[in-house]
C-alpha cells in the first residue's frame, strides 16, 4: 500500500455504540496509528458533530458507515412472526430491570443516504463500510470528493465483489474478530469463510491471491507478533479493536471493560441474541439463554437496547453485549497510545 494512503500499519477499528471516541482516535494517533470513528447508531447530525470535534485535534482519521440491508424493512410474514416471538422471549429480561420493550421497528436504515450526503458535502480523509457494499456510485462519488474508500469483506467471494466497485482498499475480517461480522454474502455470515481459513493470516493470503487491492487485516490481532504475521501474509495494515476496548480513552461501558479482564468469562461465541446479526461476544447468560435468536438486524438491536442499557447501569455484565475477539484475554488497560506503540515496536 502506498505510504501516503494510510501512513501506518496500525488502524484502530471503528467500534459503534460509543466505544470509538475522538479521545481514542487522538490517543491512537499519538501512538503512531490511524483512528476511526463510527457512525453506526448515530444521527447524521451527531456524526457530523463528532467529525468536527475530531478535526480540531489536527490528526488524520476516518469514519465508518453501516450499509443497510434492503431485506430488513419489509420482512415476509414468517420472518415478522419470528421477530415478534423473540420480542415475547425477551420479556423476562425486561421485567428483571423494570424496563419496557419497544414495539418492533422495521424502518431503520441508519440514515444511510443522509450520512452519505453529509460525507460528500464535508469529506473526511477515509471512509470505510461494513455489513455490505455501498455501490459503485457511492464509491465513485466519495473518491471524487477526495476520500479514500475502504470496503469490508470476510471471504474471497466478497472481496471479488468489493473490488468490482473500485474502492482504494479492502478490510479483510476473519471470524475470530470481536463484534459484528462484516459478512454480506450467503455462506459467509456465521463463522468460517469459504474456503476455510483457520487464521486471519490465512484469510489475508487467500484474498491477496484473488485481488490486487491493498488489504487491511482484521481478526484477533492482539500484539506485535500477530501484526507482523498478517503483514507477512500480504496485509498492508491491521485493523485492531478488542485490544483497545479496555483502554482509558475507549468509550466502552465499564461492565464491558471489566468483563474482558474477568477470568470468570472463559469463551466467546458468535451470537445473534443482541442485535439479530452475527457478532462475537463473551459468553454470558444472555448469550446462553438465547442461542436460537433469529436474524433481524437492526430490529433486534432496538428490541434489546433497553435491557442492555439497564444491565450496564446496574453493573451487570450478563445481559450486555460483551463484544470480544478470540484473543480477548490479551486486551490491556492504560492509554491507547501505549498499546499502539507496543504493536508498532520495531516496525
Q: Based on the fold, state whether residues 20 and 43 are members of the same structural domain.
A: yes
Q: Based on the fold, state whether residues 162 and 290 are members of the same structural domain.
A: no
Nearest to 8 by CA among 64, 60, 65: 60
Find the length of the chain.
Answer: 347
**Cross-strand partners of 282:** 268
259 falls within a domain: no
260 falls within a domain: no
52 falls within a domain: yes
Q: Based on the fold, state whether residues 126 and 213 are members of the same structural domain.
A: yes
Q: Based on the fold, state whether residues 116 and 170 are members of the same structural domain.
A: yes
Q: Based on the fold, state whether residues 133 and 208 are members of the same structural domain.
A: yes
pLDDT given at position 5: 76
Which grid coordinates are listed for 189? 455470515
193 vs 49, higher pLDDT:
49
Q: Based on the fold, state whether residues 198 and 159 are members of the same structural domain.
A: yes
Q: Based on the fold, state whether residues 233 and 209 are members of the same structural domain.
A: yes
H/E segment holding residue 158: helix 156-163
* Model confidence pLDDT, tens digit, residues 53-112: 999 999 999 999 999 988 776 788 999 999 999 999 999 999 999 999 999 998 899 999
Q: Based on the fold, state whether residues 13 and 113 are members of the same structural domain.
A: yes
Find where cell 469529506 sits.
123
Residue 332: Cβ-neighbour burial (10 angstroms; 0-12, 13-18, 19+)? middle
256 falls within a domain: no
Total count of domains within the chain:
2
261 falls within a domain: no
226 contact partners, CB below 8 Å, separation of at least 6:
200, 220, 238, 327
Range of the domain at 192: 3-71+109-250+331-344
pLDDT at 193 over 70: no
255 falls within a domain: no
Q: Based on the fold, state whether residues 180 and 113 are members of the same structural domain.
A: yes
* Model confidence pLDDT, tens digit, residues 99-138: 999 999 988 999 999 999 999 999 999 999 999 999 999 9
118 contact partners, CB below 8 Å, separation of at least 6:
44, 47, 48
Give 17's Cβ-side CA count (13 Å radius).
21
Q: Based on the fold, state whether residues 10 and 159 are members of the same structural domain.
A: yes
Q: Based on the fold, state whether residues 314 and 228 are members of the same structural domain.
A: no
Percentage with pLDDT > 70 across the chain: 96
Q: How far is 125 from 55, CA to CA, in rounded Å?
A: 11
* Model confidence pLDDT, tens digit, residues 276-317: 999 999 999 999 999 999 999 999 999 999 999 999 999 999
Q: Based on the fold, state whether residues 188 and 315 are members of the same structural domain.
A: no
Residue 45: Cβ-neighbour burial (10 angstroms; 0-12, 13-18, 19+)? exposed
195 falls within a domain: yes
What's the pTM value of the predicted model, to 2 decimals? 0.95
Q: How far is 342 from 336, CA to CA, in rounded Å?
A: 10
Q: What is the CATH number of the domain that holds 178?
A: 3.20.20.70
326 falls within a domain: no
Amino acid at each position: 500500500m502506498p505510504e501516503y494512503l494510510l501512513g501506518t500499519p496500525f488502524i484502530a477499528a471503528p467500534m459503534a455504540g460509543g466505544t470509538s471516541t475522538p479521545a481514542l482516535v487522538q490517543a491512537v494517533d499519538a501512538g503512531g496509528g490511524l483512528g476511526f470513528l463510527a457512525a453506526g447508531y448515530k444521527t447524521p447530525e451527531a456524526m457530523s458533530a463528532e467529525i468536527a470535534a475530531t478535526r480540531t485535534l489536527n490528526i488524520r482519521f476516518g469514519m465508518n458507515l453501516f450499509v443497510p440491508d434492503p431485506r430488513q424493512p419489509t420482512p415476509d410474514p414468517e420472518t415478522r412472526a419470528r421477530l415478534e416471538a423473540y420480542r415475547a422471549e425477551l420479556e423476562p429480561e425486561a421485567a428483571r430491570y423494570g424496563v419496557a420493550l419497544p414495539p418492533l421497528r422495521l424502518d431503520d436504515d441508519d440514515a444511510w443516504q443522509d450520512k452519505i450526503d453529509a460525507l460528500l458535502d464535508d469529506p473526511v480523509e477515509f471512509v470505510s463500510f461494513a455489513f455490505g457494499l455501498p455501490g459503485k456510485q457511492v464509491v465513485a462519488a466519495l473518491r471524487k470528493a477526495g476520500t479514500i474508500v475502504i470496503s469490508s469483506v470476510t471471504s474471497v467471494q466478497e472481496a471479488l465483489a468489493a473490488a468490482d466497485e473500485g474502492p482504494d482498499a479492502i478490510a479483510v475480517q476473519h471470524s475470530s474478530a470481536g463484534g459484528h461480522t462484516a459478512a454480506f454474502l450467503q455462506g459467509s455470515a456465521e463463522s468460517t469463510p469459504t474456503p476455510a481459513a483457520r487464521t486471519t493470516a490465512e484469510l489475508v493470503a487467500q484474498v491477496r491471491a484473488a485481488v490486487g487491492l491493498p488489504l487491511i487485516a482484521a481478526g484477533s490481532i492482539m500484539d506485535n507478533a500477530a501484526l507482523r504475521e498478517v503483514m507477512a501474509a500480504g496485509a498492508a495494515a491491521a485493523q485492531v479493536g478488542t485490544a483497545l476496548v479496555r483502554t482509558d480513552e475507549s468509550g466502552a461501558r465499564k461492565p464491558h471493560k471489566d468483563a474482558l479482564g474477568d477470568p470468570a468469562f472463559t469463551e466467546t461465541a458468535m451470537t445473534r441474541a443482541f442485535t439479530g446479526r452475527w457478532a462475537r461476544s463473551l459468553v454470558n447468560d444472555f448469550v446462553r439463554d438465547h442461542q436460537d435468536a433469529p436474524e433481524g438486524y437492526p430490529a433486534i438491536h432496538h428490541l434489546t437496547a433497553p435491557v442492555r442499557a439497564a444491565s450496564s447501569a446496574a453493573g451487570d455484565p450478563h445481559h450486555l453485549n460483551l463484544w470480544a475477539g478470540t484473543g480477548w484475554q490479551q486486551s490491556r488497560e492504560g492509554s491507547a497510545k501505549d498499546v499502539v506503540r507496543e504493536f508498532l515496536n520495531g516496525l
